[in-house]
Structures are given as C-alpha cells and as structure tokens.
Amino acid sequence: MAMSSPPPRPDRAAPMDAPPLPGRAPAHAPMPQRPRRDRSGVVAAVVGALGGVVVVVLMFAVVHLWAMHRYEQRADAAAAARAEAVSIGLEALEARDAALLAVRAGAHIVDAADDEIVSPDARAAVEAATAELAASVDALEEAAGGTIPQEPDRPVWTWELVVDAPLLEAHAIVAENTADAIERRHGELASARSDLDAAGTALFDTIDDVGAAYESAHISAQTSAVLDFRDARAAAAAQPIVDDTAADAFVAYAASAEALRRSDAAELAEKAGPLLATRLEIEEYARSIAGGVVLDFDWEQIVAGTGGAQGIGGTATWNTARGGFSTITLSHSVAETWPSANARALVTHEVGHSITSKCWEKFDWKDPAANEEWATAWAISMGHTAPGNGTWAYGYPSQQMIDLAATCR
C-alpha cells in the first residue's frame, strides 16, 4: 500500500510570504539596517587641523632658530669685544704699574738733584717729564675704569632672544669704545714714559762734567769722601733710564756729594789760620804732579823728627787700592818757608812716595831703602836739585833709578 506524507499542519508552518501575525515578529525576520555616514570630511578636517599645527610648529621652530642664531652671532661678537677690551686693559695696567715706578723714581731724582751736582735745566726737564707721566697714568687709569659690559644671562624664549640681540650689539660697541680709549691712553703713556727716560738720560749726561767741577770746588775733602763721590758719580752717570735703580744711584750720588762737602769744610776748618792760603797752594802743587793719585794732607808742628827751627819734614804713605791714594804729612815749617827750593823739593819727594801706588812694580817696593831711593830719584827726575829732594837724608840715587822714576808720571 502506498503511503504519502501527511499535509502540513496549519499551526506548524506558514507560507514564507504570509504576513506576520499581529503583535509578533517573525521568528527569523532580518534586523533593520541603520543608514551609513560619510566620514571622509571629518578625516580631512582632522588632517587639515594637524597640518596647520605642524605648519605653525615648523614656522615657530624656524623663527626660534633664526632668533637663536642671530642672538648667538651678536653674543659671540660681544664676547670677542669684551675679551679684547679686557686684554688691552690688563696690558695697559701693567704699563701703568711700570710707569708709576718711573714717576716715583723721577720724583726721588728731582728731590735729590741739587743744582750744584747736575745741570739746573736738565733737572727742570726731568721734573716736567715726571709730572707729565703722572698725568698720563691718571688718564690711563680713568680709561681702564671705563665700562666693559658683563655677559648677560642667556634667554630661553624666542621673544627674549629677539629683544636681547640688539642689547648685545650695544654691549659690543661699549666694549670697543672702552678698548679704543685705553689704547689711546696707553699710547700717550708710552710717549710720556719715553720723554721721561730721554730727560733722565740728558740729566745723567751732565753728571760727569758738573760732578767734576763740584769735586774741584771741594778739593780739600779726604780721599775716602773723594773716592766715594767718584764711584757714586760714575754709577749715576751710567744709568740708561729713569727707574728705581737710577733713583737709588742718583740718591747715592747726591748723598756722596753732601759727604764730600762736609769733609771739605772739616778739612778747611782744621787748616784754618794765617798759613791756610799757603797750605792750599802747596797741596794744589802736589796734586798737580801726582799723576791722578788722590792725596790727603795733614799738617803737624814736628814731622819725622823735624820742624820749626830744626828744618822741614814730611812723610807719605801710598796705597794701590781704588786707583791709588796717599796721605802726605808736612810740618808747618814747609808752609812757612814756601816757596823755597828746599820746600818745593821736599814736597816733590813726598809726592814721589805717593805716586808709587801707580808704579810700585818698577822697583823693590818691599825694601824701605829702595822706597827712599825711588822718591829721591823721582824728585830729581822732576828737576829738583835742592837737598830737600832727599839727597841730604838718603844720599844720591843711581842714574838707573832716576831714569826709571822718570817713566812714572
């Protein structure tokens, strides 16, 4: 028997196209679709905004870099100007310190320079040059005290970099102006220093001639004072510039001149009396034949056991140190009988002893008898034949000794 499927039940299924029952959605009905939005505009807007920000940032960065570069350039220029000004200032201050020493030295020289031991005109020139150098020192110090702007704190923000850059330009100009002023004053200082050295040299050049005249005016001074004066005079005359060394040398020269004056006055006081003029004449004669040996003179009533009514007497020492010096002692009777041939011969004999300091190697200077023969021979070689030449006391010298003595002048 054939079988067939039963017909569908009405409550189990419904046609696919049958309308849904009222109040009930189909069990397998599709969900409703929302309409899609177009997002391309939003993306474009965002991209555009971001692009604008990037552009702004880039522009700010460019402006900041430009401002920073501009500031750095001006900062470097200001730093260079500042360093140059400082360097020039330090160099000028070193010159100032040296000039101050020269000013002090010039003042010492002027204070010590009596017109009797230097040329008055030369002294006045040193005084004027010293004052000029002192004024130049003051001007340089004023210039060196000028403004050198300090490096400012480095700004951070762009607008600060832009605003502060012109300030750095002003700093550089101020520093350059200060450096120029210092250099100008430094040059004036160098010129004034050169002028002082030139004036000092001219002053030192007058010392030999003026000093020699001063010594001659105080010829009676003791040998120690004379020799000290000559040494000090030579040291002062040899100075090349005005500095502390020159000032010390010049002050020593002035002090030795004063010592020479005092010694001369003391010696003249000792020789004072009615025979003073004759004694000075005798001393002048002795110096004129002593060959540059510096002589001291003492006067006594009795010398070597002789004097007064007993005759004339004299002695002499000699010393090779410091170019040669000697002390001659004469009895008052030498002055009382001057210018007799005997007195002149005796004085010449004593000078013969004095000049031994120049010619001691020509004979046996250790032998007292040889010393007397030499002095007698020397007086004879000078043309003195009176017995006061030494022949009366020591006998006649050999011709060989006379000839030898004639070579010592």
DSSP class per residue in 140-196: HHHHHTS--PPPPPPP-SHHHHHHHHHHHHHHHHHHHHHHHHHHHHHHHHHHHHHHH
**Can you give the pLDDT at residue 72?**
67
Residue 192 to residue 195: CA distance in whole angstroms: 5
Which range has the worst mean pLDDT, 48-52, 105-109, 216-220, 364-368? 48-52
**Can you give the pLDDT at residue 164?**
63
Q: Provide the pLDDT confidence category of residue 23 given band limits of 50, 70 and 90.
A: very low
Query: In which element (H, E) is residue 346 found?
Result: helix 341-354
Residue 281 to residue 267: CA distance in whole angstroms: 15
Convert 42-53 to b/e letters by CB count within 10 Å (16 or more is b): eeeeeeeeeeee
**Do the Cβ atoms of 200 and 133 come closer than 8 Å?**
no
Mean pLDDT within 143-160: 66
User: What residues does 298 pair with on adjacent strands?
Assistant: 329
Quickly tell me which residue has 């002050």 as its tokens: 251
pLDDT at 36 over 90: no
What backbone torsions phi and psi does residue 85 show, to the nearest 5 degrees? Answer: -65, -40
pLDDT digits (tens, 9 = 90+) for 244-292: 999 999 999 999 999 999 999 999 999 999 999 999 999 999 999 999 9
Q: Provide the pLDDT confidence category of residue 162 given band limits of 50, 70 and 90.
A: low
Give the total residue count for the chain: 409
The residue that leads in pLDDT, 25 or 342, is 342
Please tell me the number of Cα atoms within 13 Å of 24 on its side-chain side.
7
Highest mean pLDDT among 77-81, 175-179, 368-372: 368-372
pLDDT at 95 over 60: yes
Residue 14 to residue 272: CA distance in whole angstroms: 178
253-257 LR contacts (CB < 8 Å, sep 24+): 253/112, 253/117, 253/207, 253/211, 253/229, 254/112, 254/113, 254/114, 254/117, 255/112, 256/225, 256/228, 256/229, 256/231, 256/232, 257/114, 257/116, 257/117, 257/211, 257/214, 257/229, 257/232
pTM of the predicted structure, to 2 decimals: 0.75
Mean pLDDT within 346-371: 97
**Can you give the pLDDT at residue 6?**
37
pLDDT digits (tens, 9 = 90+) for 303-352: 999 999 889 999 999 999 999 999 999 999 999 999 999 999 999 999 99
Residue ranges covered by each domain of the chain: 54-209, 275-409
